[in-house]
Amino acid sequence: MPELPEVETVRRGLEPWVVGKKIKKIEVVHKGGNRSNTFAPFSAVEGAKVRNMRRRGKFLWFEVNRNLGLVAHLGMSGQFIIQERKAPDEKHLRVRIDCGDRRRELRFIDQRTFGWVAIDQLVQEEGLEIPTSFARIARDIFDSQFDREKVIERIMKKRSPIKPVLLDQSVMSGVGNIYADEALWLAAIHPERLANTLKRSEIEDLLSSVKEVMSAALKQGGTSFDDLYINVNGESGYFDVELEAYAQDGEPCSRCGTEIRRIAFGNRSSHFCPRCQPRRVAKKVGVKRGK
């Protein structure tokens, strides 16, 4: 499933192509591509000019010069492709966006139909008009207005294990299963430790780790990326990131050599090093200071 780095790479790819263009026509090729509770028909943004290409967490927003937003979510396997107009429709083509380009058009393709494109109502947030999809989720760690202190406070109050807290898009957005496992490994925190038992310094470390693993992934995406073909593929299109914990069960931990373990987490899994990420933090033996 695409997480923040993958969605950000899509945004960066779309930006130079769509900003400044007019949305001429949006065609729903397959109704699965449109969210059922879309605020208005797509015709409501036809003729509008794209001002900005924005992202919050895993949501994309085509900001247009209308009182409406065109929002997209890639779901499990959604892709945006800037495709030649004359190219035959892809098997899983859901939505076609004509931006008036003579040669190319934007296509939203999704094999598993969890992704969508929809018209969203705008709401006020801190003096800005943003889509309702954005308002429901917290700012992500790359947002210029990300409030680190506030997020630390939110985490410290949670009585649940830290892993689901990291995935909670109302605490901080953009983190999914892969980067949660990677960040917890890097910060040496067991995924099942209760958030409210973590020390402030551990949470600070964890947030830095989240940023670090995602930055590394973004860097990968940025280099292997062709600006005419924007592709996020949930199965195989993951950036070739060196993973340390996620799906590494049975492999030796690169820090200590202990086998990475996998434990059930809801209907998914958590991967961690039982040695570097102990469930119970050993009490520090009092060290006698010198006289």
Question: Is 242 one of the catalytic residues?
Answer: no
- The catalytically annotated residue of 31, 219, 268, 279 is 268
Site for Zn ion in 204-243 (CB under 5 A): none
Question: Is 2 one of the catalytic residues?
Answer: yes
Question: Is 58 one of the catalytic residues?
Answer: yes
Q: Which is nearer to Zn ion, 188 or 218 (CB)?
A: 188
* Shortest reach from residue 245's CB to Zn ion, in Å: 9
Calpha distance 262→166 (Å, rounded): 18
Member of 192, 208, 275, 278 binding Zn ion (CB under 5 A): 275
Of 12-20, 89-97, 148-156, 275-283, the window that binds Zn ion (rule: CB under 5 A) is 275-283
Length of the chain: 291
Distance set, CA 172 to CA 46, 153, 179 (Å): 33, 12, 13
**Are 220 and 243 spatial neighbours (Cβ–Cβ below 8 Å)?**
no
* Shortest reach from residue 268's CB to Zn ion, in Å: 21
Alpha-carbon dihedral sign for residues 13, 17, 22, 23? negative
Q: Which is nearer to Zn ion, 220 or 269 (CB)?
A: 269
The Cβ of residue 106 has, within 10 Å, a number of other Cβ atoms equal to 23
- Classify residue 46 by burial, with Cβ atoms within 10 Å: 0-12, 13-18, 19+: middle
Q: Which is nearer to Zn ion, 79 or 270 (CB)?
A: 270
- The catalytically annotated residue of 3, 63, 105, 244 is 3
Question: Is 51 one of the catalytic residues?
Answer: no
Among 197, 260, 239, 232, smallest CA distance to 55 is for 232
* Shortest reach from residue 75's CB to Zn ion, in Å: 33
Which residues, at least 6 apart from 176, have a Cβ–Cβ distance to it below 8 Å? Answer: 1, 2, 3, 4, 58, 167
Q: Which is nearer to Zn ion, 61 or 272 (CB)?
A: 272
- The catalytically annotated residue of 56, 58, 96, 139 is 58
When asked if residue 276 is in the footprint of Zn ion (CB under 5 A), the reply is yes
* Shortest reach from residue 193's CB to Zn ion, in Å: 16
Distance set, CA 83 to CA 73, 98, 169, 280 (Å): 19, 11, 32, 53
Which residues, at least 6 apart from 86, have a Cβ–Cβ distance to it below 8 Å? Answer: none
When asked if residue 48 is in the footprint of Zn ion (CB under 5 A), the reply is no
Q: What is the 3-state secondary structure (H, E, C) of 198-214?
A: CCHHHHHHHHHHHHHHH
* Shortest reach from residue 180's CB to Zn ion, in Å: 17
- x/- string (CB under 5 A) for Zn ion, residues 243-272? ----------x-xx-x--------------
Catalytic residues: 2-3, 58, 268
Query: Where along the sequence are the contacts to Zn ion (CB under 5 A)?
Result: 253, 255-256, 258, 273, 275-276
